[in-house]
Structure 1
Amino acid sequence: MTLPTYFLSHGGGPWPFMMDQVGHLYAQLDASLRDIPRQIGGKPRAVLVVTAHWEGRDFLLSSSAKPPMIYDYGGFPPHTYQVQYPAPGSPELAARVQALLQAGGHPASLDDGRGFDHGTFSAMVPVFPDADVPVVQLSLKHGLDARTHIEAGRLLAPLRDEGVLIVGSGLSYHNLRAFNAQGAAASHAFDDWLRAAMALPAAERTQALLKWDQAPGARMAHPREEHLLPLMVVLGAAEDDTATMPYHEDAFMGALAVSSFKFG
């Protein structure tokens, strides 16, 4: 079975551990994430998360068998700096991904000290709440070049037939200085463009993504593109597959348009 790939808009901070306080804001996202095991027919052998929260000179892979936690957020309740997502890592998968990237001319290194950042654990908690599926993280590469990340995704496509679920964890809108009504117009304009781009034939879709920064509202939606780049990797890994939209909101945080996409 060839698994689909996903670009997930992962929400803000440690939200799955604050559902009593913020559940009304995250009900749709939570439901969409919890539905992924049904969509893929159960649990995969492992998950490869392309995380917006990690960058390196070359691609980096978390290779610890027991990854620690990284609390890379501020201003949240004290208990959110103690939360755990004790999924195992997979040194074997990390080495496999490294080999695929390097065979295609993209240097990659293993990092056995890297922990799960909130872009990873906040997305994975609703999907696999028992933390019983191994998770490996893949960084972005400095320069944040769209073509480089699409090419990397193409090299990772064989993993889909090896029981590995490839997930890009970012946000389709990520301007923290306008994460409110101030960003509404740009978020809606960019999201409209992004959804239209996802519906294009494969070759046209790729070309559109390569020129994403020319889209309406693009640089307001992504002053820095690290939260969009995971989309490039998962698109590259399923470049010929149809895109669908398992999650969309028009009024996230009261005003913003955000979306997630599934390929295949």
Structure 2
Amino acid sequence: MSAPDRMPTYFISHGGGPWPWMKDQLGDAYAPLEHFLRALPEQLPARPRALLVITGHWETPDLRVSSGERPGMIYDYYNFPPHTYEIEYPAAGDPELAELISQRLQAAGITVRQDPARGFDHGTFVPLAVSWPEADVPVVMLSMLDHRDPAQHIAIGRALASLRDEGVLIIGSGLSYHNLRLMNAAGAEPSRQFDNWLQQTLTGAIGTERSQALTQWEAAPAARIAHAEEDHLVPLFVVAGAAENDPAECVHHEEGAFGHITVSSFRFG
């Protein structure tokens, strides 16, 4: 692909549980997120060759990339209706892309191993089922390192940046606010404060300035309230690293998600 056809990268706030299959219970609570996800393919310069998803639901001590031809399903949520444990998202894997990802990472001095058994967790299949309901684009997943170091995850993104010129759409799937104990009125102000910092940091800076700010995210207002555990923030570091020198824009913003919470999603490039 030429530069005008270079794929952007995305950080998606993917919502809670299997929400697209619970409209009878949830009504239009997820309408803004659904609208954004449905429109996402139209924002791309071309149809993706494949999707590379860094999911906030796959954390490992050593970096891993899914390499199976037909990934299965992982229902990593609890106390939801029985039918949500029968969901299928039959997208193919892409072993050749998994090998290419491994090569790019190793060339950058980053150790990775392939995992042919990894299936689609809900951080992967939930947003993709809305954006690509036909499941007709191959999907590969990349884990997060369990030490969660921002600089190292930004470096992982840098090592994979060239995939954007080869038709690969890189998606970080997490949540801009993820404190399950404060998904209520008590979380409204902390989520707003942290979201304001995200907006200013991601859209107001670029290159190493933005990357440096992300490495110091814990100093942001309400950071450790918004992310008592930062597993749902780490995917942002990877997609920001993969588009380090590109501007960012907020492409999905809600005040009142989950009833009270401010959340956002971002596009880079």
Q: Shorter-chain TM-score category?
A: over 0.9
Rounded to whole Å, the distance in 2 between the matches of 1:54 and 1:114 is 9
Q: Shift in Å at residue 201 of structure 1?
A: 2.6
Rounded to whole Å, the distance in 1 between the matches of 2:236 and 2:94 is 23
Gaps of at least 5 residues in structure 1 are none
Equivalence for 1:260: 265
Which of residues 206, 213, 217 is equivalent to 2:218? 213
In the alignment, structure 1 residue 237 sits paired with structure 2 residue 256: no
Q: Is the 8 A contact 2:6 2:45 kept in 1?
A: no
Which of residues 54, 73, 81 is equivalent to 1:50? 54
Q: Secondary structure at the match of 1:139?
A: strand
Equivalence for 1:122: 126
Rounded to whole Å, the distance in 2 between the matches of 1:42 and 1:82 is 32
Superposed, 1:1-264 pairs within 5 Å as 1-202=5-206, 203-264=208-269
Rounded to whole Å, the distance in 1 between the matches of 2:49 and 2:25 is 33
Paired amino acid for 1:8:
I
Gaps of at least 5 residues in structure 2 are none
Q: Shift in Å at residue 23 of structure 1?
A: 3.8
Rounded to whole Å, the distance in 1 between the matches of 2:124 and 2:27 is 19
Rounded to whole Å, the distance in 2 between the matches of 1:23 and 1:211 is 38
Rounded to whole Å, the distance in 1 between the matches of 2:191 and 2:149 is 22
Rounded to whole Å, the distance in 1 between the matches of 2:63 and 2:217 is 22
Which deviations, in whole Å up to 9, do the C-alpha atoms of 1:203-255 show, x marking residues without a partner? 32111111000000000000011100000000000001110111000110111
Paired amino acid for 2:224:
R
Rounded to whole Å, the distance in 2 between the matches of 1:99 and 1:93 is 10
Q: Aligned-residue CA RMSD in angstroms?
A: 0.9
Which deviations, in whole Å up to 9, do the C-alpha atoms of 1:107-139 show, x marking residues without a partner? 101111110000000110111000000000000
Rounded to whole Å, the distance in 2 between the matches of 1:196 and 1:59 is 30
Which deviations, in whole Å up to 9, do the C-alpha atoms of 1:34-81 show, x marking residues without a partner? 111110044200000001111112211111100000000001000000
Which deviations, in whole Å up to 9, do the C-alpha atoms of 1:77-121 show, x marking residues without a partner? 000000000000001111111111111111101111110000000
Q: Is the 8 A contact 1:89 1:135 kept in 2?
A: yes
Rounded to whole Å, the distance in 2 between the matches of 1:231 and 1:211 is 13
Q: Secondary structure at the match of 1:25?
A: coil
Q: Secondary structure at the match of 1:199?
A: helix
Rounded to whole Å, the distance in 2 between the matches of 1:181 and 1:60 is 37
Q: Is the 8 A contact 2:203 2:250 kept in 1?
A: no
Q: Secondary structure at the match of 1:66?
A: coil
Q: How many residues align?
A: 264
Rounded to whole Å, the distance in 1 between the matches of 2:189 and 2:114 is 41
Which deviations, in whole Å up to 9, do the C-alpha atoms of 1:119-161 show, x marking residues without a partner? 0001101110000000000000120000000000000000000
TM superposition outliers: structure 1 runs of 4+ over 4 Å: none
| TM-score, normalised relative to structure 1 | 0.98
